[in-house]
Each structure stands twice: as C-alpha cells, then as structure tokens.
C-alpha cells in the first residue's frame, strides 16, 4: 500500500507539474496574443422581448490560438486574472468594442448599445477609468451607448477603489449592468447606493423556468424588482421558445440567448441582421 501511495503521489506530482508547465506556457502565449491580434470579440445580440428589435450586443472575448484553435473565456480568463494580464486584456477589449461600435455606426448599421464585461480584478485599479476614457475618445462613441457588465463579486468586495471607480463610471455616463444577477451572495443594499441601469438574470434561473416553479418565481421577482426600481432587465441564456414566451409574458424587457442568436463574428452578425430584415 505504501508503494502504491508513493506511486500515486509521484503521479499526482508530475501531473501537477505538467499542468503548471502548460499554464506557464499558455500564460506566456497570452501575453503575446494580446499585442498580436490573436484576441477577437464575438457579439451576441440582445433583443426587445416586445418587438424583437435588437437593442444591444454583448462583446465576448475569444482567443484565436495559432495551434490550439479558438479558445473560450473559460480556458484563459482565469489564467489572465492569476497572471495579472487581465488589465491589459481589458484595455484591449474596451478599445476594440468601442472601435467596432463606431465602425458600425459609420456604416449605418444599427446595433444599439455595446455591453462589455469587466472583471472584478480590474476594479482594483484606477487605470480602468483611463483606458475607458481613452476608448471613448478614440472611437468618439457617446458614453451612453457603452454598458459595463460587472458581477456581484465586485460589489461583495466593495473597496474604496471600486466604489470610486463605479461613481466615476456613472459620472462619465456609461451604463452599468449587474451580470449573473442572483448568483452572488451580496445583499441587495447596493442597488440603492449604486443605482445600476440594468440587471441581467443569470441563465441558471432562466434555464429552469420551464420545469421549476421556484425558478419561475425568482425570475418574476427579479423582473418585479427591476420594474419597481426603474431598471432595465435582461434575461440571459434564453434557449427555447417556451422560455421566451414566459419571459415576454411576465414583462421582462430584453432577451439574450441561443434562441435569438449565439455570439457571432462581426461578419456573421451583419449577415444575421440582413436575414432578419427580409
Ligand atoms: P457571461 O458574461 O455571463 O456571458 C454569457 C455567456 O453565456 C457567454 O459565454 C455566452 O456565449 C453564453 N451564452 C449566451 N447565450 C447562451 C445560451 O442560450 N445558453 C448557454 N448555455 N450559454 C449561453 P462565453 O462567451 O464563453 O463567456 C463566458 C464568460 O467569460 C462570460 O460570462 C464572462 O463572465 C466572461 N467573459 C467573456 N468575455 C469577457 C471579456 O471580454 N472580459 C472579461 N473580463 N470577461 C469576459
Ligand atoms: Ca456578461
Ligand atoms: Ca452573465
Ligand atoms: Ca457568467
């Protein structure tokens, strides 16, 4: 049993080592990727539940890795956060999303607002504001058309820095959306203080609305809360017609999910818009 234990230990040990090695490699590649056009944004439409009209897109980052193929955030955001590259990635994302929005505007393509995810870690650093302002200035898009999506984890660890950043964001005039609403453990007190523009109901609740009356009650409750506070409410992860109908029924304003469209490349989104009109 002892030798087995030792064998197992060294197995785990080498397993761990090779995983660390792989991470180190990926981390160095990520540093390179950010400056060398390997990151790309895909855009997922958000539509009005009432009219079906597109009101916004959410920018979602992908990494076009030269040998590993298209990587999704789950495969590298954690690494970017651990290695301190997330700020750099965030700067790129804000700039690229604003640039793309300006480009669509210039070409007369109406896509509504642009939502960008900002990681909790970025709220620890005032430079976030500089890069945001720079992205707005360079693109010339009105601040009101940009929505910053933050998760409740930003608010749970609300520090003086993050508080001040959020206040400044409001002054600049960009929108603030609370992402994955209902999955964090923060109290609702922050809603009063922070006055976000938008709540995004997490897809775990939306998913279960067809089968689970508790989930239906929660989603209804969030829509009611948003209504009472005059906030816009977005349901994410809408995957079926049944879910769509329920959400429309209870007065949810905005819908996002595979039922409407997956996250799309720039070209695919433009094609999607054309197809819808015909
Ligand atoms: P999120 O902000 O909650 O984004 C929604 C995720 O759900 C996206 O995954 C999207 O592709 C996926 N999704 C959309 N509709 C559906 C649906 O109907 N069904 C299902 N099953 N999934 C759906 P994605 O693109 O893999 O992004 C995962 C997470 O990575 C995002 O979650 C966000 O937290 C983070 N992320 C993405 N882009 C960025 C970025 O530029 N910066 C930062 N800091 N985080 C990002
Ligand atoms: Ca989001
Ligand atoms: Ca979300
Ligand atoms: Ca999420």
Judged by DSSP in three states, 76 sits in helix
Give this prediction's pTM: 0.93
Q: Does residue 179 have its Cβ closer than 6 Å to ligand 1? A: yes
Q: Does residue 45 have its Cβ closer than 6 Å to ligand 1? A: no
For residue 70, the tally of other CB atoms under 10 A from its CB is 11
DSSP-derived letter for residue 115 is E
Q: Does residue 119 have its Cβ closer than 6 Å to ligand 1? A: yes
Give the per-residue pLDDT at 193. 82
pLDDT tens track, the chain, 278 positions: 555 666 666 666 777 777 778 788 888 999 999 999 999 999 999 999 999 999 999 999 999 999 999 999 999 999 999 999 999 999 999 999 999 999 999 999 999 999 999 998 998 888 999 999 999 999 999 999 999 999 988 877 767 888 889 899 999 999 999 999 988 876 788 888 888 999 999 999 999 998 999 999 999 999 999 999 999 999 999 999 999 999 999 999 999 999 999 999 999 999 999 998 76
**Closest C-alpha to ligand 1, atom 30:** 73
Q: For ligand 1, what atom is nearest to the CA of residue 119?
A: 44
CA of 278 to the centre of ligand 3 (A): 31
Give the per-residue pLDDT at 159. 76
| Residues sharing a CB contact under 8 Å with residue 87, sequence separation 6 or more, in sequence order | 121, 122, 125, 127, 128
Give yes or no for a contact between 60 and 263, defined as CB atoms under 8 angstroms apart. Answer: yes
Give the per-residue pLDDT at 5. 63
Residue to mutate, 59, 60, 91, 239, ligand 1, most ligand atoms under 8 Å from C-beta:
60
Taking alpha carbons only, the member of 176, 87, 92, 147 closest to residue 123 is 87
DSSP-derived letter for residue 264 is B
CA of 21 to the centre of ligand 2 (A): 30
The model's pLDDT over 111-156, given as tens digits with 9 standing for 90+, comes to: 999 999 999 899 888 899 999 999 999 999 999 999 999 998 887 7
Q: Is the C-alpha dihedral spanning 139, 143, 147, 153 positive or negative?
A: positive
Give the per-residue pLDDT at 2. 54
CA of 202 to the centre of ligand 4 (A): 7
Give yes or no for a contact between 163 and 190, defined as CB atoms under 8 angstroms apart. Answer: no
Give yes or no for a contact between 252 and 235, defined as CB atoms under 8 angstroms apart. Answer: yes
Residue 53, token pair as written in the block: 């009209």
Q: Which ligand is nearest to the CA of 237?
A: 1
| Residues sharing a CB contact under 8 Å with residue 113, sequence separation 6 or more, in sequence order | 55, 56, 57, 144, 145, 146, 147, 175
Give yes or no for a contact between 171 and 194, defined as CB atoms under 8 angstroms apart. Answer: no
Give the per-residue pLDDT at 257. 98
Give the per-residue pLDDT at 7. 64
ipTM above 0.90, yes or no: yes
Judged by DSSP in three states, 199 sits in strand
Give yes or no for a contact between 56 and 115, defined as CB atoms under 8 angstroms apart. Answer: yes
């Amino acid at each position: 049993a002892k030798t087995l234990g030792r064998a197992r230990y060294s197995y785990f040990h080498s397993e761990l080592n090779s995983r660390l090695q792989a991470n180190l490699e990926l981390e160095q590649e990520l540093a390179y990727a950010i400056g060398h056009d390997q990151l790309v944004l895909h855009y997922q439409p958000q539509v009005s539940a009432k009219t079906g009209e597109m009101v916004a897109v959410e920018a979602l980052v992908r990494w076009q890795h030269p040998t590993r193929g298209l990587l999704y955030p789950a495969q590298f955001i954690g690494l970017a956060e651990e290695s301190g590259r997330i700020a750099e990635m965030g700067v790129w994302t804000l700039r690229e999303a604003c640039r793309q929005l300006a480009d669509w505007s210039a070409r007369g393509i109406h896509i509504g607002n642009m939502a960008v995810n900002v990681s909790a870690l970025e709220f620890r650093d005032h430079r976030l504001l500089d890069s945001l302002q720079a992205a707005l200035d360079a693109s010339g898009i009105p601040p009101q058309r940009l929505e910053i999506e933050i998760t409740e984890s930003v608010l749970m660890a609300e520090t003086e820095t993050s508080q001040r950043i959020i206040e400044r964001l409001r002054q600049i005039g960009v929108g603030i959306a609370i992402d994955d609403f209902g999955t964090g453990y923060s109290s609702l007190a922050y809603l009063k203080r922070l006055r976000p523009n938008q709540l995004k109901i997490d897809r775990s609740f939306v998913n279960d609305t067809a089968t689970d009356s508790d989930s239906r009650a929660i989603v209804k409750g969030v829509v009611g809360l948003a209504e009472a506070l005059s906030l816009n409410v977005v349901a994410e992860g809408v995957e079926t017609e049944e879910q769509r109908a329920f959400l429309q029924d209870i007065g949810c304003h905005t819908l996002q999910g595979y039922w409407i469209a997956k996250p799309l490349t720039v070209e695919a989104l433009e094609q999607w818009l054309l197809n819808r009109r015909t």
